[in-house]
Each structure stands twice: as structure tokens, then as C-alpha cells.
Structure 1
């Protein structure tokens, strides 16, 4: 639940006292290592165990922990073993090690990883017409969520252009956490992200673009802005990158689309 606070606000050239709400953000400890018997030399032998601390909204943290480890700690593109690697190569199980429910200082999760069989050449996402793309963004942004009340949250979603529906939506204070949550869900459920779209509320910077690519996405649609770096990377890698997708204004901007995935 949000925290109730009493604040002073300056508006319309006048001061006033009011009640407001703050979104909760807590530290989360994550430990990881290879799953015993989960892949041997070919699968998990190269994984170096470690731990880190994240700051996040305290809900659905198992997917966040798993996704963070997969994308930011053991992914070949991060470790340097395969700089151009795309897609998630491992799955895992998550154990809640928390003690004292509700105490943020004690939130902790252990991630045990195992290798998954290679999926071969990634299947590209199906093309989408402009009106359908806007409908997807409308469904993505239109649902009530954690933004309501605090105005503090980002969201990201997985959209299937073949089924024409949103498969998963994640929300968190940090925009990178949203991608981690989607990746953790996909690894847990065995969902291939390559033929799906990534919808995001946040701006697409180089770091967010790189994380989306590590997850396997090649079609990214943002409600917000993009940067020169993300556009250059999208152009070089054949990724479709759409920004300023505003369903209420019936508009979006295609910044890169070498694959011709956005149709009239």
C-alpha cells in the first residue's frame, strides 16, 4: 500500500497543506548461482555465483529477481562470452529467503539457474498496421495500474501481434525493473519473446534498448521519446523502434524499421 504523508504544496501562487501518497520502494537482496545438476559444463558451469541489491516496489519480486539475473548478470552479452548474443539462454527457480514479512530490509531471493535448449533462429514479430499498433498501446496504457494515485510508476508489456492481445504487463518504479519482470515471467513460463512486441511507457535510452535486446525483442514501441543512441542501435541491428505512441492523439513516430514491420 502507498504511504500516506502530509505535505505543503505551492500552486497558483499560494501555499497550502494537503495529504498525499508515496509509492513504496524497498531494498531487495538477490543471490544467484548454478542449479545443481542443471546443465553441467555445457549449461551452467560458466556461471559465477554472486549477489546484489535492487530497489523495487515490493510485489511480484520473484520474477524481478530472476529477470535481473538473466539479463544483467549471466547473459552472454553482459559477461562478454558472446557480445552479440540475443535472447534468454537460461531458466531458473527462485526461492524466497525473506524473514519478517513486510520488513523491506529482509526481502531476499535466491536464483538457481539451469541451461535451456537453443531455440535456433529467432522468429521475427509479425507486421502490424498503424491502427492495430495504436489499439495495442491503448490496451496497454488504458488499464488502471500503480500509476494511479502516486504517479510514480513505469510499465512495460508483452504484446502478441498474432493473437492480438497483451500477454503480460509489469509495473515498477524503475523502468529497467519492468523489463526484468517481463524477462523473469517469460523464463518461468517458457514464453519466447522474439516474435512479440515490447510496449513501454518510458523513454528508450541506449541502456533500456540493450536490455530489451538481451531479452530477445526486435520490435519496441514506446509512449515516450527515444534517443540518438537507441535509434542508431536499432538501425544497425534491424530492430523496429517506434516512439511517441499516443493512442489518444492517434499518432506515433517510426524511427527505425528496416524490416518493414509497421504497415499503412
Structure 2
């Protein structure tokens, strides 16, 4: 059985900006990190054999008080935070102090969660499974839209983003030495301060849902409020990603990818600001213009084509 501790070292692939102390009543957790990359031999179109790195995907089955709930496909960068964030984003727990311990054992591919007082109505709350659009076919429990009206996010004057701050975030992400840059096949998510100056947390995983859940677990463990933060993802903005960001209290989302119709409608209903197709200095603001302080780029002069 792996040893339990309160301290969680920062493994490669998960990069908090500064150390943060856990909340007063934090769960005890293992540090069961794994190598994130594996080398394999390939042959290219020229018949040349060479060695490349690929992400090392693992299966992790989550048990809560000895009851099997779900199997997550993950890199295993920080599985304890992934499990904590998954429980939080599934609304199975409201606070990390409900959890006594999270023990990950890769020899059996399992995460054993022990709660302090059990989870009320666990069978009923996990009885309905919805297959998500997540990479690897993720699962959420219950009615995604049932809790929308109970979500309260900061007013636009309390949570805003300047265009200059957005561009600074995109430049930070562009310069990141990431697993995706070395091996591809992963999604990355990050949490920024709203002024764009500080990246608080960055994680990559085989799916964007795992990455956002890991950030959610880190926020819960350290008591980080999302109201003055910006969430960044390389993945598309579906309804599930928008809902998870809202549950984390983060009202502004930036994506390198696009948005779905349900994601757009949900963000508009919640008063969230969504940016998509965001890379370099380019972006589209889909919803929540009242949270965005635009600093427009100068229009480029049209190119004249002279007929020959």
C-alpha cells in the first residue's frame, strides 16, 4: 500500500506557479505520479526508422468507499488531484474536507477514495450516466442542466479581461514547453489571474476533461476562488466544459478551439465570457462582451489585386 502524506510534489506535466498551502482539513493523498511519455520505434514515409515519444495513457478505476464509480483514462501526472476534481465537478462532493484520503495504486490501476461521512444518495446520484464528448468517452452523472439556475458568478464589473491580458496569456501558452509540443495527442488546460500576468496552474492529459478536473482538484485543495480567474483550454468549448468552469466559479474561458451550440447557449445563460479560435493575437469573443475590455488591433489595409 503506498504511503499517505499531505504534501504533493509538483510532477512534470503539472505546473503550479507558486506553492500553496492546502486547506485546513485536507484529505491525505498519495503521490502516485507516473512517467508521462514512452518511447517507441516508428517508420516514416521514407522507410526510415527512428524513436519518438508518445503519451503514456493509463486506466484508473475510481472507488468511493469501496464502491466502483468510473474508470478514467489519464496520463497519471497527478491522479489524486484528478480524482478530487472529478468528484467536485460531478457535484458528488462540495468541499475537500468531505474526503478523508485518496490512495492511488498503479499496480492495480485503482484510486481508493475514503470519505469522512459517506456521500448521501450516492446510488441515486450516480444512477444516470451520460456519455460526454470528452476524448476517450468520458462520463458525467445526472442531468447536466438541472443545476444551472443555482450557479452564481461574479458580476461583469467584478470579473473582467482586457485584450492586452488575453494576448499575454496566449503568448505564455505559445512559449510553453509542453507534452503536446514533444509528443502530441494530449490536451492542455491552465488557470490564469485575470490580469494575464500569472499562470497559476497548467496541466496536460489525454483529454480536456481530465485536465480541467485536475485544475478543479488543485483549486479545491488549496482554497482557490475562481471569480477573478480565467480558464484556458486547448479543447473545444462544449456544454460540459462550460458547466465545469462555472462550477469552479470561473466566469471567463479562453480556448484555442471553437465552441458548440450548447456550449454557447449555456455560457450566454450563465453570463459567462467565451473566447475561441484564440492563438497569437487572434481570437473570437462568442459571449459575454460586457466582461471584455476590447483594445482593437489596427485594421490591415486591403490588398489590391491589379489585373494583368
In which range does the TM-score fall when normalised by the shorter chain? 0.7 to 0.9
TM-score normalised by the chain length of structure 1: 0.75
Match of 2:5 in 1: none
Residue 184 of structure 1, aligned match among 190, 204, 217: 217
Superposition pairs for residues 119-158 of structure 1, below 5 Å?
122-124=153-155, 126-158=159-191
Structure 1: runs of 5+ lacking an equivalent:
34-48, 76-88
Superposition pairs for residues 93-172 of structure 1, below 5 Å?
93=99, 95-99=101-105, 103=107, 105-112=108-115, 122-124=153-155, 126-162=159-195, 164-172=197-205
Q: What is the CA distance between 1:214 and its match in structure 2?
A: 2.1
TM-score normalised by the chain length of structure 2: 0.65
Asked if 1:197 is matched to 2:225, the reply is no
* 1:209–1:230 CA contact under 8 A, matched in 2: yes
Q: What is the CA distance between 1:111 and its match in structure 2?
A: 5.0
Match of 2:284 in 1: 253
Residue 96 of structure 2, aligned match among 91, 94, 98: 91
Match of 1:45 in 2: none
Q: 224-233 vs 60-69, which deviates more?
A: 224-233
Q: Which has the larger share of helix?
A: 1
Q: RMSD of aligned C-alpha atoms?
A: 2.7
Rounded Cα–Cα distance in structure 1 between residues aligned with 2:163 and 2:217: 30
* 2:101–2:114 CA contact under 8 A, matched in 1: yes
Rounded Cα–Cα distance in structure 1 between residues aligned with 2:88 and 2:285: 29
Aligned residues: 225
Structure 2: runs of 5+ lacking an equivalent:
1-34, 120-150, 296-308
* 2:165–2:196 CA contact under 8 A, matched in 1: no
Q: Which has the larger share of strand?
A: 1
Rounded Cα–Cα distance in structure 2 between residues aligned with 1:257 and 1:121: 15
